[in-house]
């Protein structure tokens, strides 16, 4: 059995048998590692053992799958089940950015507690990916059924699967592009 080692640069602790050529957290060569004896405060260990971030990052995946699969399944069922599936899909779309934000926040807290800093290359890449997904979702949310890419409503009502659902925003948002009449 091999012992624990710690990266002198970022503080990442791992089992010596899992060490490759680079530190998985900061990317420095394996020569920066030193033997490590676990010394952790009880409160810090308690927070780490809760695994909040690994749990929180799975919520966006569930809501995304619900938002994608339920409208497809709604094609093969009848009302009132169809209406319920579409309502759940709509709520999943609305809740998705909050779960992504929750994953980002728990990741920042977890990174700070585990690595004592959040600027390691691995954590920075994860933060960029999370913020990018949140931005993609927010930019595409304005364009529901019946809207074109400029965020303008079509003249004809949408008569497809989502007919009868109110996709209009509750508040008037400025168009991302200038409106020319």
Answer yes or no: is 148 within a domain.
Answer: no
Give tens-digit pLDDT for 162-171: 455 544 444 4
Asked if residue 14 is part of any domain, the answer here is yes
pLDDT digits (tens, 9 = 90+) for 16-67: 888 888 888 888 888 999 988 877 788 888 888 888 888 888 888 899 889 8
Q: How many other C-beta atoms are found inside a 10 Å radius of the C-beta of residue 75?
A: 9
Higher-confidence residue of 12 and 178: namely 12
Which residues are paired to 22 by β-bridges? 29
3-state SS string for 28-93: CEHHHEEECCCCCCHHHHHHHHCCHHHHHCHHHHHHHHHHHHHHHHCCCCCCCHHHHHHHHHHHHH
**Residue 120 and residue 61 in one domain:** yes
Q: Which domain holds residue 13?
A: 1-39
Residue-level pLDDT at 69: 92
pLDDT beyond 70 at 89: yes
Confidence tier at 96 by pLDDT (50, 70, 90): confident
Query: Is 85 found in the same domain as 11?
Result: no
Same domain, 34 and 46: no
Among 100-104, 127-131, 140-144, the minimum mean pLDDT is found in: 140-144
Lowest mean pLDDT among 46-50, 129-133, 150-154: 150-154
* In-domain check, residue 172: no
| In a shared domain, residues 49 and 131 | yes
Residue 67, in any domain of the structure: yes
CA 88 to the chain's CA centroid: 19
């Amino acid at each position: 059995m091999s012992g624990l080692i710690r990266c002198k640069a970022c503080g990442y602790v791992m089992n010596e048998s899992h060490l490759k050529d680079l530190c998985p957290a900061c990317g420095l060569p394996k020569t920066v590692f030193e033997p490590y004896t676990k010394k952790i405060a009880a409160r810090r260990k308690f927070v780490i053992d809760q695994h909040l971030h690994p749990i929180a990052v799975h919520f966006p995946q569930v809501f995304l799958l619900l938002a994608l699969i339920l409208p497809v399944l709604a094609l093969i069922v009848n009302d009132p089940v169809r209406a319920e599936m579409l309502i759940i899909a709509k709520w999943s779309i609305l809740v998705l950015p909050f779960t992504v934000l929750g994953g980002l926040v728990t990741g920042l807290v977890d990174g700070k507690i585990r690595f004592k800093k959040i600027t390691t290359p691995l954590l920075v890449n994860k933060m960029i990916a999370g913020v990018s997904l949140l931005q993609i979702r927010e930019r595409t949310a304005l364009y529901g059924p019946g809207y074109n890419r400029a965020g303008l409503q079509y003249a004809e009502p949408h008569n497809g699967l989502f007919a009868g659902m109110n996709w209009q925003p509750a508040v008037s948002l400025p168009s991302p592009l200038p409106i020319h009449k």
